């Protein structure tokens, strides 16, 4: 018995050519299953989505997600309305495709383009949820994704991609801080979610537009400019920590070093800081990370380190090195029964161990909330601290039936960075008092005042 012929593996030609800039190229080169573009007006998000559709139709077998067989490949463009799906998806794609590629076109709702290799594009709308039913969709572009109700992703579109192990690209200006769209954007900023990629672009990033979008600054309301042109959320915060961009990440001082996919170390030269320092250390548990954060006496985040799968000897030597560079108080998480606390003390590290309990964590987090809201802590807006920003945004507050408040990371997230910062912040008053009294670094042998001495 003869087997069915193998599907054609010849890509469609000629290949269309587009002028793109670096952020668009980065999106097209990503092989993540879910890609989220939080881009401003005229930043080029629609054209990069059209290029993505064209390339997938040209040779779908080169993509990790979805069908390898063009004859069985179905690609959706989902917009806020049929009019917008037609204007920003259907018509630009039809114009971009060579006539020799196209087998047929349907100009009625839902719009369709069928290629000669069998690939089918369909253009639908989340304005009519009943049209978002089906199976076996290989790739979906969701235009203005932050306007789409969360339930349509979780109940309709996501399940459809399961049949084909399909992929998704969502493009939008940011509208809702805790929407599915912005949750996925934050996933893409973290190394903990390798199937997610996210990108941020402002209108000014696009070199192909004639007018300078910065000219709009001051001519439109500030919140509109930030949302439409800078692609910034109306509230850079979450359920627990609010307005992080206005309250915490408010300066752009440089930090030396590198953090790649959430792992690494950055620091501010101690000579540029105000001693003494408070160093919070949260130790890794199970799938978590060891995080070390230092504050100086002016409340600046001056050191940040995050790593995983370290030995205790390595952790101890790192803490000793940080204490030597940023002398003051080290506030380690002492919840675990390990030998590192007495070993650090024997090496002359000034310690204030803190054991986490629900009550202690509540006190630490609420103290951190107050310090951030009052502007007493400042962090650099550098991307090296994106993991800290992500965890602060995603921190959850739970009030039990007994009216007790708990703070935790979501089930699929981490709060090691938050805990480390909270530990350091718990001793901010102490180091500020020491600085006012004329702090100087103590000798280890004269450590009779909590490690803080005065001139």
pLDDT at 291 over 70: yes
Residues 349, 278: contact at Cβ < 8 Å? no
Residues 290, 336: contact at Cβ < 8 Å? no
Q: What is the mean pLDDT of residues 8-34?
A: 94
Task: Give which of 126, 119, 113 is closest to 157, Cα–Cα.
Answer: 126
pLDDT at 447 over 50: no
Q: What is the mean pLDDT of residues 241-258?
A: 91
Tell me phi and psi for residue 48, to 5 degrees.
-70, -30
pLDDT at 3 over 60: no
pLDDT band at 432 (very low <50, low <70, confident <90, very high): very high
pLDDT at 150 over 90: no
Residues 419, 275: contact at Cβ < 8 Å? no
pLDDT at 191: 85
What is the percent of the chain with per-residue pLDDT over 90, rounded to a whole number? 67
Sign of the Cα pseudo-torsion (346, 451, 330, 273, in order): negative
pLDDT at 120: 97
pLDDT digit string, tens, across residues 391-431: 998 888 888 777 788 898 877 778 999 999 999 999 999 99
pLDDT at 314 over 60: yes
pLDDT at 8: 52
Across the beta sheet with 328-332, what order do the strands follow? 256-260, 263-267, 301-307, 290-295, 277-282, 328-332
Residues 382, 254: contact at Cβ < 8 Å? yes
pLDDT band at 383 (very low <50, low <70, confident <90, very high): confident
Least confident of 15-19, 29-33, 219-223, 334-338: 334-338
CATH 3.40.50.300 occupies which residues in the chain? 22-228
Q: Write down the residue that tokens 């290029």 correspond to.
A: 51
Q: What is the mean pLDDT of residues 104-114?
A: 95
Q: What is the DSSP letter of 4?
A: P
**Residue 432, number of CB atoms within 10 A of its CB:** 20
CATH class of 22-228: alpha beta
CATH 3.30.420.240 occupies which residues in the chain? 244-454
CATH class of 244-454: alpha beta
Output the pTM of the full model. 0.64
CA distances 209 to 44, 149, 220, Å, are 9, 31, 19
pLDDT band at 286 (very low <50, low <70, confident <90, very high): low
pLDDT at 213: 87
């Amino acid at each position: 018995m003869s087997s069915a012929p193998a599907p054609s593996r010849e890509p469609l030609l000629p290949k269309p050519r587009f002028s793109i800039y670096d952020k668009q190229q980065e999106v097209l080169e990503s092989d993540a299953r879910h890609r989220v573009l939080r881009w401003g007006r005229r930043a080029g998000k629609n054209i990069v989505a059209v290029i993505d559709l064209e390339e997938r139709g040209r040779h779908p077998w080169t993509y990790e997600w979805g069908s390898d067989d063009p004859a069985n490949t179905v690609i959706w463009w989902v917009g806020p309305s049929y009019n917008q799906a037609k204007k920003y998806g259907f018509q630009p794609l039809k114009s971009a495709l060579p006539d020799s590629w196209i087998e047929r076109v349907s100009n009625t709702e839902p719009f369709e383009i069928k290629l000669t290799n069998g690939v089918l594009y369909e253009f639908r709308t989340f304005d009519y949820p009943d049209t978002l039913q089906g199976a076996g969709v290989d790739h979906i572009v969701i235009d203005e994704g932050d306007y789409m109700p969360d339930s349509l992703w979780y109940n309709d579109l996501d399940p459809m991609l399961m049949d084909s192990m399909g992929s998704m690209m969502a493009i939008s200006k940011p509208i809702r801080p805790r929407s599915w769209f912005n949750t996925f954007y934050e996933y893409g900023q973290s190394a903990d979610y390798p199937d997610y990629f996210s990108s941020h672009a402002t209108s000014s990033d696009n070199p192909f537009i004639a007018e300078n979008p910065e000219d709009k600054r001051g001519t439109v309301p500030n919140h509109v400019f930030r949302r439409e042109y800078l692609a910034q959320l109306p509230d850079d915060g979450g359920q627990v920590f609010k307005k992080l961009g206005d309250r915490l990440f408010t300066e752009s001082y440089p930090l030396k070093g590198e953090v790649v996919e959430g792992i690494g170390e950055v620091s501010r030269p101690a000579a540029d800081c105000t001693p003494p320092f408070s160093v919070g250390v949260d130790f890794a548990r199970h799938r978590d990370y060891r995080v070390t954060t230092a504050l100086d006496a002016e409340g600046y985040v001056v050191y940040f380190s995050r790593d995983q799968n370290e030995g205790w000897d390595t952790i101890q030597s790192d803490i000793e090195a940080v204490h030597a560079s940023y002398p003051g108080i080290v506030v380690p998480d002492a919840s675990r029964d390990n030998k590192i606390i007495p070993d650090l003390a024997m090496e002359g590290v000034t310690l204030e161990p803190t054991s986490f309990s629900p009550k202690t964590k509540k006190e630490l987090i609420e103290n951190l909330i107050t310090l951030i809201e009052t502007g007493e802590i400042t962090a650099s807006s550098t991307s090296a601290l994106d993991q800290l920003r992500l965890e602060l945004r995603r921190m959850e507050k739970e009030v039990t039936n007994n009216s007790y408040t708990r703070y935790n990371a979501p089930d699929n997230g981490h709060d090691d960075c938050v805990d480390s910062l909270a530990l350091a912040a718990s001793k901010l008053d102490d180091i500020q008092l020491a600085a006012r009294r004329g702090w100087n670094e103590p000798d280890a042998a004269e450590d009779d005042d909590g490690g803080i001495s005065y001139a």
